[in-house]
Amino acid sequence: MNKDMLFSSFKLKNFQLQNRIGVAPMTRMSSVKGSIPRQDVFDFLVRRARNGAAVVYTEAIVTDYECAQGYPGQARILKDEQIEAWKPVVESIRNEGSVAIMQIFHCGRMAWPEINPAGSIIAPSPVTPSQNNPMTNEPYPVPEAIGLLEIEHVIEGFIETARGAVAAGFDGIEIHGAHGYLISQFLSSYSNKRTDTYGGTVEKRYRFAHEVIQAVRPIVPDDRLLTFRISNWGVADMEVSLFNSKEEYQEIIRLLSKEPIDAISVSTYMYGDKAFNTDQNMAQITREVTGLPIMICGGIHDRESAEDALKGADIILSAKSLLLNPAWVEDVRTGKSLPLYKSEEANIAYSDTPLP
């Protein structure tokens, strides 16, 4: 592999990226008023673009006003004032030569009553996550199994949110299919116990993801991006392998590869960890069965790890390093010795203190 690949340009559909580095999606829980993030959270994204990140993902944006929200203070893009609030942010990111992508999500069973005023928590099946809610330290409530009509309604939320993101000028949209949220809950036999057309075989468990992608794609103009994020772990199912085997995971990647999407974003704890009892990491396992561009994320913290992670992927994403170090891209470029941050250090993301 070319040693300078990290700072080489990459053609992602019709976008010529200036390098292979992106800001991973990061929920900041700052939208206390009107589902609009605080100004300093917007400014943070623009500064990361200015520091040289070629791709900037937003936090996960909630797809409805009913039961999609998973954390306090999450944002939406369903109303004019929300769209207007994001417009200058997108413009500033683009003026820095970066690509702005909005991630959209439904949390499914990861909701709890306080942040879910509709009192309806939905999931493929009435099964709770294995861990307590990290925000309340309480067990999650048992969700209701989503009905067929509700599935259509939930997909409408993805459509309307994608419409808002397009109106705000985003270069792309990401469907969040990772981390044990609704789409991920459908994909995994661990949370999906359905016996109808949305559960059972891999193909049936994949059906919901397929329908969301097919519904969102026509909303996203052809010259803009649609990406899909996937993981083998969940926020409240840390120890669980969401897919039963390498073969099962690869079957889903194959199905995704037939979709009108422009990249697959693979989220891991540590990009280099061997997966599914093989000697391959998640990026390599993904690469084996797809020709789509791959983004990889998890524990990439310095030049060496970034170059190494690119052996199985086209673009690397960083969350904690870019959150905590405003000069990260430049520091990586100069090969500075940089720390691997711990999860607890990222809690500052949720404070009122503006980040540098």
Ligand X SMILES: Cc1cc2nc3c(=O)[nH]c(=O)nc-3n(C[C@H](O)[C@H](O)[C@H](O)COP(=O)(O)O)c2cc1C
**CB of 209 closer than 8 Å to CB of 244:** no
Closest CB 290 distance from ligand X, rounded Å: 19
CB of 88 to ligand X, least distance (A): 21
Catalytic site includes residue 206: no
Which is nearer to ligand X, 24 or 199 (by Cβ)? 24
DSSP per residue over 169-226, as a string? T-SEEEEE--BTSHHHHHH-TTT----STTSSSHHHHHHHHHHHHHHHGGGS-TTSEE
Least separation in angstroms between CB 267 and ligand X: 4
CA distances for 180 relative to 80, 162, 207, 236, angstroms:
30, 21, 16, 7
Q: Which is nearer to ligand X, 100 or 319 (CB)?
A: 319
Nearest to ligand X of 194, 302 (CB atom): 302
Q: Which residues bind ligand X (CB under 6 A)?
A: 24-27, 59-60, 103, 176, 178-179, 229, 267, 297-300, 318-321, 323, 346, 349
Crossing angle of the two packed helices 80-95 and 39-50, in degrees rounded to 10:
20
Which distant-in-sequence residues (6+ apart) come within 8 Å of 206 by Cβ? 186, 187, 252, 255
**Nearer residue to ligand X within complex by CB, 55 or 319:** 319
> DSSP letter at 279?
S
Please give the structure tokens belonging to residue 275: 């997966």
* Nearest alpha carbon to residue 53 among 332, 356, 312, 310: 332
Of 57, 71, 140, 181, the catalytic one is 181
Shortest distance, CB of residue 346 to ligand X, whole angstroms? 4
Question: Which residues belong to the active site?
Answer: 181
